[in-house]
A and B are shown apart, each in its own frame.
Chain A
Amino acid sequence: MKIHLSRRYRFSASHRLHSAQLGEDENKRVYGKCNNPYGHGHNYIVEVAVSGPVDQATGMIANLTDLDAFVDSEVIESFDHKYLNEEIAEFRETVPTTENICIEIFNRLRRFPSARLERIRVEETGLNSFEYAGEPTGATHE
């Protein structure tokens, strides 16, 4: 039997979908109202799944106090109430779609020392969500 522990976190942030590789008209066509030059925001939900042996002394895969502190310091503190395009260095070059936000959060959390990171799921709104579980060995996103 495999066991995953999942925890949900929230942050609110703004972004603009605009690719430097596309012309103005192409950006408007591809991204529609998400290309609005002033940006717009969402209440994001981040679901973090970790796995590992259940410690018999504590009954836990990971202590939630440690997981909460790590997610806060690595993700929530830098993403919450920010303009992602300008204030997260990785999104100056990469379009902050929820796909890319998933990958960025996964890369930030993969160093969690107390358990193995299995999967990140991000809800941009209640109607759409994205999941990323890393790449097969030998093809990592860094």
Chain B
Amino acid sequence: MVYLTRRIEFSASHLYHNPAFSAEENRRVFGKCNNPHGHGHNYVLEVTVAGEPDPATGMVLDLKELKEILQREVSDRMDHRFLNYEVPELAGQIPTCENIAAVIWRLLEPKITRGHLNRVRLYETPDLFVDCYGEGNGAHPNAGGAR
């Protein structure tokens, strides 16, 4: 099994606010992320696809194809957007790194038809990131579950 990773960046704004919480509870739970005007990040997305190289091309999948999928599914939806209001897949959810990464996983998984989507890693900052892994065979070596 070979693991291929492609990285892209997108910049977007968001805010954390749960309408079921009081104003005070929102400030307590979400801190400065609750600022009603929002704030932004330069997100870095690493997408890992696992598979066996095609003997004819030597590729797990064509990087051009992966690049186009990432452009269409992620950049076109999220780059330079206010995630709370402009991304329907996040409607009704707090746009945390966990939830954004899970949305990206669900958008990409059915589109990767050569090899299979193995890991989505989304950096909100260089010091904070979320990994999504599939459940099946060939999980990423870091997916855990041995214990």
Contacts and interface: CB of A to CB of B under 8 A. Distances in A.
Interface string A100-138: 000000000000000000110000000000010111110
Bin the interface of chain A by size: 20 to 34
B96 A6 contact: no
B12 to A, nearest CB: 15
A63 interface: yes
Given A7-B128, A8-B126, A1 B98 contact: no
A29 B23 CA distance: 63
B35 interface: no
Interface stretch (A16-24, A32-40, A53-61): A53-61
B127 interface: yes
A54 B28 CA distance: 18
B89 interface: no
Given A3-B130, A4-B144, 11 more contacts: A1-B102, A2-B143, A4-B130, A6-B128, A56-B93, A57-B18, A58-B18, A59-B94, A59-B99, A65-B31, A131-B142
25 contacts: A1-B102, A1-B106, A1-B132, A2-B132, A2-B143, A2-B144, A3-B98, A3-B102, A3-B133, A4-B144, A5-B98, A5-B129, A6-B130, A49-B131, A57-B21, A58-B30, A59-B93, A60-B94, A61-B98, A63-B29, A64-B128, A65-B31, A133-B144, A134-B147, A135-B147
